Amino acid sequence: MTSRDEMHPGRVSHREGRTGMLLPESPEVGIRGPIMKEAGRVFYNPSMSGSRTRSVLLFRHSIEAGLLGKGTIYALDGLTASGLRARRWLNELPGEMAQRISATIVDLDGESLEWALKSHERYPPNHSKGKLGHSQSDLRVEVLSSGRHWIDIDPYGSPVPFIDTALQSMARNGVMEVSATDTAALTGSSKTALMRRYGARVLTDSLSHDSGMRVLLATLSRVAARHDRSIVPLLSVWDSHHLRVSFRVIKGVSAANNLEESIGWRVFSPSKEEVVASMDAGMYPKSSLDFLPMHCMLPLNFPLDMKDQRVSGPLWIGSIGDDEAMSSMTEERALESCGPVFSPDDPLGWDEKRFEMERKSVVRSVRNFSKESGVIASRHLIVVDDLAAWLGTGAPPSPRKIVQVLKDAGNSAEVSSYGRPSFRTDSSWEDVVEAAMATHPPM
């Protein structure tokens, strides 16, 4: 997806979404895992393109929904590297929205910032609206210099070192997006790092990435509460090697005081007593106790044995996304905002096929989000492989088919965007069992 830059030999032009950029060398397209910056290179990981596309769409939704007020929007692309995330906001949001944004890109690495600014000069926003400032500094220092409505934190590894100062510097109403690539810790494989950084434990099972996102949200909400703020999740995504949560930050002591209502435990293979407690706390749909579910959530004050291996948490037990924000993430809208449009005199020399590939990549980045929006508040995330093993039905049912059976029976259910074949539903456990029995492929 790159071409040599004719005007600047030795540089490579690349496009992500609708936005052009310059790099000192071709990006290593196809990498799925984390990559680290090497000396003389600008960090750019094409496998994070979906995260940047969703960032543009979430920014658009947040402006339209009035989450960012009416005046100038002070936005910080906190660990910017190539500068592409902020440059995509400015280029891919409609002009009337971009012109409200005063974005600052921050990085410790001067060379990365130079490339970001060269890119911005070579490929300025189409409508030339919005401001792009830059600061070569430590994010933890820069962030405290003034209040912000939007902060993006996308570190190598854990975001923990950055979240305290960033949350302090949020305006009364704002949005923060936080990535974490320390997935081994958050998903429970590195137990000591998980306890040290996040004060939590996670059972390493097929829900461990969902539990990891919830542990991250719980950590963020506790730090926010210390600064008289509360958080409201908008979107939580497990995408290849990283977890990413996007949430509103709202100033106010009373919501911050209610923190404990949103934090609790997830228990694998719960006992009858635990399922009843979960139902009583409104965390589980009323069901008969003839079949016990694979997991349930419990409030923070439920007495649990802290050595019990079945327990994950403390974690966020509220919704991990917002219905309206997620339903705005349709394929049509993604293409309208971020899909590049073929032009025969394309400055990067792309042919129609390359444009089509990038458009497909834009569409992939929002797959299932909009459909899943209606059930995102449901605490039942069911991985079909686990369900088949739990019920002893052999091959796993297709998530699509089981969702259809549940919907036909009047339940809410949708295929999930989670990284394993799964669905979310608010159905009772007996309805889930019945639907699984009705749809399981013959053994």
Ligand X SMILES: C[S@@+](CC[C@H](N)C(=O)[O-])C[C@H]1O[C@@H](n2cnc3c(N)ncnc32)[C@H](O)[C@@H]1O
* Interacting residues with ligand X (CB under 6 A): 37, 43-44, 48, 52, 79-82, 84-85, 106-109, 112, 138-139, 154-156
CA nearest neighbour of 168 among 199, 139, 195, 191 = 139
Q: How far is the CB of 20 from ligand X (least distance, A)?
A: 15
SS3 81: coil
Looking at the Cβ atoms of 43 and 150, the one nearer to ligand X is 43
Q: How far is the CB of 53 from ligand X (least distance, A)?
A: 11
Rounded to 10 degrees, what is the CA torsion of 366, 179, 55, 43?
-110
Q: How many CA atoms lie within 13 A of 83 on its CB side?
A: 31
Helix or strand (DSSP H, E) at 249: strand 242-251
* Residues contacting 72, CB < 8 A, separation 6+: 100, 101, 102
Q: How far is the CB of 51 from ligand X (least distance, A)?
A: 7
Query: Which strands, in side-by-side order, build the sheet including 12-16?
Result: 2-4, 12-16, 19-23
Phi first, then psi: what are they for 126, rounded to 5°?
A: -55, -40
Q: How far is the CB of 177 from ligand X (least distance, A)?
A: 10
Instruction: Confirm if 143 and 151 have CB atoms less than 8 A apart.
Output: yes
Looking at the Cβ atoms of 135 and 173, the one nearer to ligand X is 135
Q: How far is the CB of 210 from ligand X (least distance, A)?
A: 23
Environment class of residue 121 by beta-carbon count within 10 Å: exposed (0-12), middle (13-18) or buried (19+)? exposed
Strands 242-251 and 170-180: antiparallel
Read off the amino acid at residue 120.
H
Looking at the Cβ atoms of 11 and 87, the one nearer to ligand X is 87
**Alpha carbon distance 93, 150 (integer Å):** 15
Instruction: Confirm if 330 and 291 have CB atoms less than 8 A apart.
Output: no
Q: How far is the CB of 298 from ligand X (least distance, A)?
A: 35
Looking at the Cβ atoms of 79 and 298, the one nearer to ligand X is 79
Q: How far is the CB of 316 from ligand X (least distance, A)?
A: 24
Looking at the Cβ atoms of 107 and 372, the one nearer to ligand X is 107
Q: How far is the CB of 211 from ligand X (least distance, A)?
A: 23
- 3-state helix/strand/coil string of 152-179: EECCCCCCHHHHHHHHHCEEEEEEEEEE
Read off the amino acid at residue 183.
T
Looking at the Cβ atoms of 113 and 296, the one nearer to ligand X is 113
Q: How far is the CB of 117 from ligand X (least distance, A)?
A: 14
Looking at the Cβ atoms of 139 and 217, the one nearer to ligand X is 139
Q: How far is the CB of 48 from ligand X (least distance, A)?
A: 5
Looking at the Cβ atoms of 155 and 374, the one nearer to ligand X is 155
Looking at the Cβ atoms of 106 and 275, the one nearer to ligand X is 106
Looking at the Cβ atoms of 55 and 411, the one nearer to ligand X is 55
Question: Of all residues in this chain, which one has the CB nearest to ligand X in the complex?
Answer: 79
Phi first, then psi: what are they for 409, rounded to 5°?
A: -85, 5
Long-range Cβ contact pairs of 42-45 (< 8 A, separation 24 or more)? 42/81, 42/82, 42/111, 42/112, 42/115, 42/116, 43/81, 43/82, 43/112, 44/14, 44/81, 44/82, 44/84
Looking at the Cβ atoms of 79 and 167, the one nearer to ligand X is 79
Q: How far is the CB of 405 from ligand X (least distance, A)?
A: 40
Q: What is the DSSP string of 1-34?
A: -EEE-SSSTT-EEEEETTEEEEESS---TT--S-
Read off the amino acid at residue 277.
A
